Structure formats: structure tokens, C-alpha cells
Amino acid sequence: MVLINNLKDAILKTKYTIFLLVSALVLILDQATKLYIDRTMELYSSIVVIRDFFAITYVRNKGAAFSFLSESAYRLPVLTLISVIAIIAILVFFRKLRPDQKFTAFCLSLIFAGALGNLIDRVRLGEVIDFLLVHWHDHFWPAFNVADSAICVGVFLLVIDMFIEEKRLRRLKGK
């Protein structure tokens, strides 16, 4: 029994397990929420959650962030290629992580799952389903989704992690 518990603890502590669990959870949440919105709401309909601040609003984005490239004839192949390159780069970088870089693994898994979630939409629908709309009265932030949130949080945390890692490396060199 002790051997099984030790094995279970070892598996749950690996960077690969973190990557698989977090990526799977984020991807499932992203795709499930998009599917739910698509099946239960009419396009451009909105449900106010917090007046003058937050609404669930069903929109589709043909472009990238802030509808970048949405009117370009090359948008779909370009955005698909960028997503595939990003996903491959994340996987390559991930493999090079040290076993102790679990937080970095967590950050990369958020970014990976977000990129994959939006790529699935682009391949399946030719556009991305967005539904989270934050605004202050009449000042609106572009609508986004779980995948976009995962990418933003993952990048933000990765930047923090990079500063911490840099300090750690400087400390090690100083010794």
C-alpha cells in the first residue's frame, strides 16, 4: 500500500501530469462552455450578470485578439498556422523544463489549452465563439472566452515565473 501511495504521489508531482491535468480541464471547460452558449443562446443575444460591468453575450470572432485580421481573406490559414506553431513551440519548450519547474509547467499548460481550444473552434467553425463581455457602462472590452482567459493568465503567470527563475539563477551564480 505504501508503494502504491508513493507511486501515486510521484506521478501527481511530475510536470507531465500537471500539464495533462490542467490542459485537459481547461480544454474541457472551454469547449463545454462554448458548446453550451452556442446551443442555448441566439447569436448576439446577451444576459446581464452585473449591470454596467459584466454580461454573457454570444458573439463570434473571425479574427484574433481584438478581431485582428477578421476581414482578411487569409485570416483562417494564417491564424491556424500561428496556433499550430505556438502549440508546437509550447510542447518543445515544455520538454526542456527541469523536473522541478512545476509552476512553469502549469503556466504553459494554460497557454497550450487556450491555444488548442481556439484552434479547435477555428478548424471546426472557421471562427471562435466568445461570450464573456466586460464593460464599464458604455466602455466595452472585446468579448472573450475561457481559452482566451487561460492564455492571458498563463502568460501573466509565466512572466512572473521568469522573473523568479532569473532571481534564482542569479542567486545560484552568486554562490
Q: What is the secondary structure of 81-112 as a DSSP string? A: HHHHHHHHHHHHHHHTS-TT-HHHHHHHHHHH
Q: What is the band of 9 on the pLDDT scale with cuts at 50, 70, 90?
A: low
Specify the pLDDT at position 71. 59
148 is catalytic: yes
pLDDT in tens, 60-91: 987 666 555 555 566 777 888 999 999 999 99
Q: Which of 100, 121, 148, 161 is catalytic?
A: 148
**Assigned domain for 88 exists:** yes
The single residue of 38, 100, 121, 130 carrying the catalytic annotation is: 130
Any domain includes 111: yes
Is 149 a domain residue?
Answer: yes
Strand order in the sheet with 54-61: 46-50, 54-61, 128-136, 139-140
Domain boundaries, position 94: 15-174
Residue 7 lies in a domain: no
Sign, Cα dihedral of 63, 68, 73, 78: negative
Which one-letter amino acid corresponds to residue 52? D
User: Which pLDDT score is estimated for 4?
Assistant: 57
Residue 145 predicted with pLDDT over 90: yes
Question: Residue 48: which pLDDT band, with cuts at 50, 70 and 90?
Answer: very high
Within a domain: 2: no
Q: What is the spatial distance between Cα 46 and Cα 88, in angstroms, rounded to a whole number?
A: 36
To the query of whether residue 30 is one of the catalytic residues in this protein, the response is no
Q: Is residue 5 part of a domain?
A: no
Q: Is residue 8 part of a domain?
A: no
Q: How many domains does the chain have?
A: 1
The contacts of residue 51 (CB under 8 Å, 6+ apart) are none
